[in-house]
Amino acid sequence: MSNTIRKSNTWEETLIAFPSDRSLSMLSLDAAEHDDNRMRISLDQQKFKIRLASSEDRHASASMLIHKMYSWRGYATEGVGQTNEPNQITIVASYAERIMGTMTIGLDSPAGLLADENYKKELDQLRAEGHKVSELVRLAVDRELKSMRVLAALFHLAYIYGHIIHQATDAVIEVHRRHMLFYEKMLGFKPFGEERICPRTQVPASLMRIEGDYMEQMIARFGGKGEQIKDEKSLYPFFFSHTEEAAITQRLTHEP
């Protein structure tokens, strides 16, 4: 499979769009604290769109959302702006042309990963064991407009880019303690490094890790089934189906 990520030339080019159908369960990393402040969107013909942030305008919009959400949580924002590093890709989710979610996926390289600032020993251990590591950074979702489908879409795109296209065996993420249970219960991440002050946000964070093979199994089992699955409480039923995953991969790699 090609290892070249497709760089979209226009904002209108969409990797995937999906309707705001049914009464989407609103899901917040801080739902328990701010349930009354969440905005209930009207379900109409608008669609959520997932796109590459390949233009300066899209990177700027993603950076604005990151600064907004990090500032709201009391995090430092000077070190979390979007970059154009060749080993990174940024994806954005929008609703009615409003940027409502973003995530950057970084691939390991001779320059290392951002997580090496605090967890080089742990990451070097994985490298020495033959693992290929990717990282998830600069995740932000507008607290006024969240759904399982949007979060699942962002994480599924990260899986496609890191695991399927670039054969990363593992993904890591630095997580504030109050969000660790969310990542463990909803996605299957496991603690992999003790809590330390993140140099970019200046707040305590712990390194968490997930294996690509585990995600592959969960997506194969639950992906695309949504509310049909009554007893599965993770995000995986809201991931894309195998057919959708294959179509997105094809678009990202320019395969015919």
Q: What is the CA radius of gyration of the chain?
A: 17
Residue 201 has pLDDT above 90, yes or no: no
- Taking only the tens place, the pLDDT of each residue in 209-222 is 999 999 999 999 99
CB 251 within 8 A of CB 15: yes
Domains for the chain: give ranges and CATH numbers.
46-245 (3.40.630.30)
The runs of H, that is alpha helices, within the chain are 31-34, 56-72, 116-128, 148-159, 180-187, 212-222, 242-253
Alpha helices by DSSP H, listed for 160-235, are 180-187, 212-222
Task: Give the DSSP letter of residue 3.
Answer: -
pLDDT of residue 74: 46
Q: Is the model's pLDDT at 1 over the cut of 80?
A: no
pLDDT at residue 14 above 90? no
Per-residue pLDDT reduced to its tens digit, 82-121: 455 678 888 888 777 777 788 889 999 998 999 999 999 9
Decide if 235 contacts 186 (C-beta within 8 A). Answer: yes
Residue 78's pLDDT is: 52
pLDDT band at 146; cut points 50, 70, 90: low
Report whether 91 contacts 50 (CB < 8 A).
yes
Give the closest residue to 98 by CA, choosing from 141, 136, 69: 141
**pTM > 0.85: yes or no:** no
User: Each residue of 66-101: b (16+ CB within 10 Å) or e?
Assistant: bbebbeeeebebeebebeeeebbbbbbbbbeeebbb
Q: What is the residue whose two structure tokens read 């991931």?
A: 239
What percent of the chain shows pLDDT beyond 70?
Answer: 68
CA angle 104, 167, 27 (to 5 degrees): 40
Task: Judge whether 89 and 54 are in contact, CB under 8 Å.
Answer: no
Residue 231 has pLDDT above 80, yes or no: yes
Taking the C-alpha atoms of residue 81 and residue 200, their distance in angstroms, rounded to an integer, is 10
Between 169 and 102, the more confident residue is 169
Question: How far apart, in whole angstroms, are the C-alpha atoms of residue 28 and residue 147?
Answer: 8
pLDDT for position 12: 44
Q: Give the model's pLDDT for residue 48.
A: 77
Per-residue model confidence (pLDDT) at position 116: 95
CA 144 to each of CA 29, 141, 149: distance values in angstroms, whole numbers, following the listed order: 12, 9, 15
How far is residue 124 CA from its own chain's centroid?
A: 23
Q: Which position has the higher pLDDT, 249 or 31?
A: 249
Confidence class for position 250, pLDDT limits 50, 70, 90:
confident
Locate tokens 């990090």: which residue? 70
| Torsion angles phi and psi, residue 156, rounded to 5 | -70, -40
Distance CA 108, CA 116 (A): 10
Per-residue pLDDT reduced to its tens digit, 62-83: 444 444 444 434 444 454 444 5
pLDDT at residue 145, as a whole number: 57
